[in-house]
Structure 1
Amino acid sequence: MTRPRLRATGLATAALVAAGLLATPTAASAVPAKPTPAPGKPKAAPGKPKPGKPCTPRYSPGAPSIGDPYFPDQGNGGYDVKHYDLDFSYDPATQVMDATATITAHATQNLDRFDLDFRGPEITSLTVDGKKSAFSRDGQELVVTPHGKLKAGKKFTVVVKYAGVPGPVTDPDGSIEGWIPTDDGAFVVGEPQGTPAWLPSNDTPTDKATFRFTAKVPEGLTAVGNGQLLSQRTRNGWTTFVWDSTEPMATYLATITIGTFEVTESVTPSGIPSYVAIDPRLVAGSANAVSQIPKMMEFFTGKFGPYPFASTGAIVDYAPQVGYALETQTKPIFSNTASVGTMAHEIAHQWYGNSVSPERWKDIWLNEGFATYGQWMYTEFNGGATVEATFNNSSNYGRAATSSFWQVLLADPGPMEMFSSIPYNRGAMTLHALRGKVGEEAFARILRRWAAIHRYSHAATADFVSLAERESGQDLTAFFDVWLFQKGKPTSW
């Protein structure tokens, strides 16, 4: 995610509900016993259906969760989303959103029912492949029973129409996300579970899709989304913005933030279009950070490999109640003035966290540790403290061995600590220690290969350990054990 989005800890907790079991599939109709073949006739080949007696396919509900213990209701099984298309209007005066979400997906099993994640306003209609379909809501689960069954491999389209007031979601650590009203619009962020507040979706980092947003807002306001701006037109007091994100994106990285912005469009030295939108109150304080985006892009491309997306930019909005920044894909978003360090962190996330996303939320150090280490490297490159000095300072390895900072497993910090300083700082320290262990050349290969192998996909801690051993030619079991899988301050590795 971002900020370093060091979210506050010790705030109100949210109870985690254990994941529900899958419903037992409906039994297929009985198949008659196979008759004894006539003398002289060969038996049918084992495992092959008898001619004229095709097996009746089984249909069953898709799983209502992907089974992530941090957020047991998150994500769904049985299908793979390919594209989201959201067409909506939003009036900050009433905070009412009137929306039509069109979701294109492929069934990955024979489905007679499936779930979407949705915490948003009242649904007025729902169709699957143009046919009115039954649905029910249970917490964040939107349970859909299509008019006709969906065979594995079938492409299908779900259209959900809804209207009302979307709102924020509160996380276990007390921080908020989702659709957050501001004094001039809405600040829209989704990590780790906020996107279903305003968009029916398969809300898991492991199901990426392309996105298009068509946002209609009162004239004078700007709606800023992921990807590239396709069109903008004003008519009858309303302005419609169409944003297109053509590279696969996890739902938690989506945004369509609305407000009064000063907009700057430009192109980086390497030819990547940039769209920066800043609340007028924050222009002066964010100028230095925003001006360095092209420089950061060039620096990180040299370290991590080709930039993975077709556009870049930033959104700097005034939402002081939020208190963090987020690496929303192609345009990091800030809830207040953007600093150089935080901007570098969020730009680094475009490779690590966005293009390469975590398989499960316990792998969050792969997001935050990489982005924090990128921030440290850029600070050194930009004339600030060296990476070695940052590694050793009092916020990092200089902490006493008795500090609670060392008493959480980095590879599984839990939902209360996943956005504390532990995944950020200890994650970055792990990478710096690895750099010293395997040497500069192997470490540089590891950074670039990680971004290349898992581009537009997701990966887990075990995948990174395997890559590091492969690229370095070393057995790193003991190294990763002390840095990732044990509590306590590492003293040798």
Structure 2
Amino acid sequence: MDRRPLLRTLAPAVALIVLGGTACTTADGATGVQGSPGASGLRDPYFPRLGNGGYDVRHYALTLDYDPKTSKLTGTAAITARATQDLSAFNLDLHGLTVHGATVDGSPAAVNRAGNELTLRPHDELDKGSTFRAVVRYSGSPRVITDADGSEEGWLRTADGAIALGEPTGSMAWFPGNHHPSDKATYDITVTVPKKLTAVSNGELRSRRPTADGRRTTFAWHSAQPMASYVATLGIGEYKTKSYRPEGGGVPVFTAADTTVAARSEKLLARIPEIMDWAEKRFGPYPFSSTGAIVERSGDAGYALETQSRAVFPEASFDTVTLVHEIAHQWYGDSVTPRSWRDMWLNEGFASYAEWIYFEDFEGVPAQDSFKENFDTSSNWAFPPAEPPGAEDISQDPVYGRGAMVLHKIRQAVGDDTFFGILRGWAQTHRHGNASTDDFTAYVEKESGKDLTTLWDTWLYGEAKPAQP
């Protein structure tokens, strides 16, 4: 995410409630233990109720219908998951919207709703290790989730449609799921919209077909690589789209620009293959099967976001630096995803340092100059990048600027050859997975053969600004 157009502050979380198991008596009088409900949160340091325990989602199949005139979304979410414990019930995260019913493995499930927690109790308990399929039918007008600083996420209505942005909690505004970054899954998103509109999502467009009455169009998108729900997106509107494979090969590109900004965006959109080539040389093989961008009018969103394989930009933020930042996120954040929201600097510090490398490679600005500029910026010293004080701080300056400074100090400590090997190796080692700050520091020390305790204590965890850069 590029937060420069609008500082984003995240709403504080509430406490976690964990439900335990219960004893049962069998027909012969023996006492056993029934499956217990999955936890209603994953104890994230900043969003403890976000996500759910007891299962691991493998695939989301979302079938959606949206009419901008009424702002009504009608949806069916088919969720394929594996039980990680014996389950008597499990939760899904869902903000707003009305649930009309649910099934688990084809049988009706009892449904209970409390705030953002949707509890499903299947007819038959689920055994640990078993794969199950939960289907939830729902509808309503998806809500905007407003953060404490006034920035917005979730389902953002536009003049001709909508754009869905999910970092950190907004995806629960348009589909039920396990909305913590540690539970990644593949996706099929099928969307029906009025005939004149286009629906754009992550991954590849599998089909585009008119409905039987010819008044609407159904778009089917497929994401074959695992994706955290916060980088899932859906844009609905009047777009100028372009789909192509770059000359000489390369990653297929799909771009969509609001028709009112398409002409002004065209030149920079055409640079995506060039920037992708540079990024692959620096960061290693691209982790997804397509790339691209969605460009909206500036009033449609207040910030750019690294939605997987197809980042979203308001026109005011669609510049070369921000494009480099969001493309770098495809490696650092989208493919290698934080284990918890405390590890946010592994997203933003890396994407910010990618900007420094780009300036160095193409603008003749040494990364040391970018480092010095950030060192002299007082807001970067508000807190250590690896330990934001609260949820409202995970997208603040130290996570970006001081996070990038950590990487530059590693580069100075280990040398360029080892450093760029670490960047590529880190992305490859945790490709399509999750990783923590501890995972990263251990990886760097292993690959460099150096004890960097002083570096971590000073730059990653230290409270005080060092006397010298």
TM-score by length of 2: 0.95
Question: SS state of the match for residue 388, structure 1?
Answer: helix
Q: Which amino acid aligns with 2:387?
A: D
Equivalent in the alignment of 1:18? 15
Q: Which amino acid aligns with 1:180?
A: L
Of 373, 376, 387, the match for 1:412 = 387
Equivalent in the alignment of 1:325? 304
Equivalent in the alignment of 1:375? 355
Q: Which amino acid aligns with 2:446?
A: R
Alignment of 1:84-233 (within 5 A): 84-233=60-209
Q: Tell me how far 1:204 sits from its aligned partner.
A: 0.9
**Cα deviation 1:44-64 (Å, max 9, x = unaligned):** xxxxxxxxx9x9454101011
Equivalent in the alignment of 2:47? 71
Equivalent in the alignment of 2:409? 433
Equivalent in the alignment of 2:228? 250
**Residues 291-300 or 101-110, more deviating:** 291-300
Distance 1:234 1:386 in 2: 53
Q: Please say if residues 11 and 392 of structure 2, whose CA atoms lie closer than 8 Å, have aligned partners that are also in contact.
A: no
> 1:5–1:252: structure 2 CA closer, same or farther, 3 Å change rule?
farther
Distance 2:60 2:99 in 1: 17
Q: Tell me how far 1:417 sits from its aligned partner.
A: 1.8
> 1:5–1:357: structure 2 CA closer, same or farther, 3 Å change rule?
farther
Q: Please say if residues 406 and 459 of structure 2, whose CA atoms lie closer than 8 Å, have aligned partners that are also in contact.
A: yes
Of 279, 283, 290, the match for 1:304 = 283
Distance 2:424 2:461 in 1: 24
Equivalent in the alignment of 1:49? none
Q: Tell me how far 1:16 sits from its aligned partner.
A: 2.7
Distance 2:79 2:413 in 1: 46
**Which stretches in structure 1 are left out of the alignment for 5+ residues?**
34-52
Equivalent in the alignment of 2:425? 449
Q: Tell me how far 1:173 sits from its aligned partner.
A: 4.0
Question: SS state of the match for residue 320, structure 1?
Answer: helix
**Cα deviation 1:201-248 (Å, max 9, x = unaligned):** 000111110000110000111100100000011232101100000000
Distance 2:50 2:401 in 1: 27
Of 241, 247, 263, the match for 1:263 = 241
Equivalent in the alignment of 2:323? 343
**Cα deviation 1:67-123 (Å, max 9, x = unaligned):** 013112100010010100011110111100111110011111000010000114111
The structure with more radius of gyration? 1
**Cα deviation 1:421-444 (Å, max 9, x = unaligned):** 221111111111110111111101
Q: Tell me how far 1:32 sits from its aligned partner.
A: 9.9
Question: SS state of the match for residue 392, structure 2?
Answer: coil
Identity over the aligned pairs, expressed in percent? 45
Distance 1:404 1:301 in 2: 32
Is 1:485 the counterpart of 2:464? The answer is: no
Distance 2:12 2:440 in 1: 31
Q: Tell me how far 1:407 sits from its aligned partner.
A: 2.6
Equivalent in the alignment of 1:293? 272
- Over the aligned positions, Cα root-mean-square deviation in angstroms equals 2.0
Q: Tell me how far 1:384 sits from its aligned partner.
A: 5.3
> 1:471–1:125: structure 2 CA closer, same or farther, 3 Å change rule?
same
Of 200, 215, 218, the match for 1:237 = 215
**Cα deviation 1:259-281 (Å, max 9, x = unaligned):** 11111111134432110000122
Alignment of 1:376-415 (within 5 A): 376-383=356-363, 385-393=365-373, 396-399=374-377, 403-413=378-388, 414-415=390-391
Of 427, 430, 443, the match for 1:467 = 443
Q: Please say if residues 157 and 300 of structure 2, whose CA atoms lie closer than 8 Å, have aligned partners that are also in contact.
A: no
Q: Tell me how far 1:316 sits from its aligned partner.
A: 0.4
Q: Tell me how far 1:336 sits from its aligned partner.
A: 2.5
Distance 2:264 2:383 in 1: 36
Distance 2:452 2:339 in 1: 22
Question: SS state of the match for residue 443, structure 2?
Answer: helix
Distance 2:11 2:417 in 1: 44
Distance 2:197 2:334 in 1: 28
Q: Please say if residues 103 and 159 of structure 1, whose CA atoms lie closer than 8 Å, have aligned partners that are also in contact.
A: yes
Q: Which amino acid aligns with 1:248?
A: P
**Cα deviation 1:309-350 (Å, max 9, x = unaligned):** 000110001252531000000000012341111000000000
> 1:474–1:492: structure 2 CA closer, same or farther, 3 Å change rule?
farther
Question: SS state of the match for residue 183, structure 1?
Answer: coil
**Residues 170-179 or 465-474, more deviating:** 170-179
Distance 1:28 1:6 in 2: 57
Q: Tell me how far 1:446 sits from its aligned partner.
A: 1.0
Equivalent in the alignment of 2:294? 315
